[in-house]
Amino acid sequence: MNTIDNILDNYFEGTTLPEEESRLKEYFRGNAVLPRHEIYKPLFAAFDKEKQIAAPVFEIPAEKNRKKPFPIRKSWIAAASIAAVTLLLVTLVPFKNKTGTPSGDYTVFIHGKAITNPKKARQYADKMFMQADEIIRTSYEPVVEANAIQTEMDPGRIFDDLSREINHMQSINQ
């Protein structure tokens, strides 16, 4: 039996079928709403109204447009300065914002030296994490393989190799 009362009950249990919800909405849009159901009319009217909210216009860029994430706004500057002060004091909770290098998402120090080139930093970090995962994975395998990977994990050498690769690619692209 699907009277409006039944459907309403199911509605609040979250178990209504899409067709039943359609029916419910049509009912509340109409003029035959029973007095005991009147109270829910604004609820469904609100849903209809929200659906009319439209997005602002997005202009497809004509050429490459490097936008800064979330352009600074007054309210954010205030929030950011508060956050910055808080950050200084409560740095480690739960995972702090490292400002070692301006490479954005990656912070890399090799023997104490910061890697500032974002691309190099990223590639190096990815490779290091991958290598570590590989060591962990193969730690379950015979000793021979583990040793082979261990010797490969020389950060200085990895970095130099990567640098050479990147420089090579960059010179090609020029």
Q: Is residue 11 near other proteins by the rule CB under 8 A?
A: yes
Least distance (Å) between residue 63 CB and other proteins = 12
Least distance (Å) between residue 116 CB and other proteins = 14
User: What is the pattern of x (binds other proteins, CB under 8 A) and - over residues 17-56?
Assistant: -x--x-----------------xx-xx-xxx-xxx-xxxx
Tokens in use for 45? 């009217």
Please give the single-letter amino acid code of residue 95: F
Q: Is residue 155 near other proteins by the rule CB under 8 A?
A: yes
Closest CA to 99 of 84, 86, 80: 84
Considering the complex, state which of residue 31 and residue 65 has its C-beta at the smaller distance from other proteins: 65
CA atoms within 13 A on the CB side of 101: 19
Interacting residue with other proteins among 1, 32, 34, 143 (CB under 8 A): 143
Residues within window 80-109 making contact with other proteins, judged by CB under 8 A? 83, 86-96, 98, 100, 104-109
| H or E element, residue 118 | helix 118-138
Q: Is residue 63 near other proteins by the rule CB under 8 A?
A: no
Tokens in use for 124? 């190096």
Considering the complex, state which of residue 136 and residue 172 has its C-beta at the smaller distance from other proteins: 136
Please give the Cα distance from 66 to 61 (Å, whole number): 10
Please give the Cα distance from 49 to 43 (Å, whole number): 10
Q: Is residue 174 near other proteins by the rule CB under 8 A?
A: no
Interacting residue with other proteins among 1, 32, 35, 69 (CB under 8 A): 69
Least distance (Å) between residue 1 CB and other proteins = 21
Segment lying near other proteins (by CB under 8 A), choices 27-35, 124-132, 166-174? 124-132
CA 72, distance to chain mean position in Å, is 19
Contact of 54 with 42, CB cutoff 8 Å = no
Please give the Cα distance from 99 to 105 (Å, whole number): 10
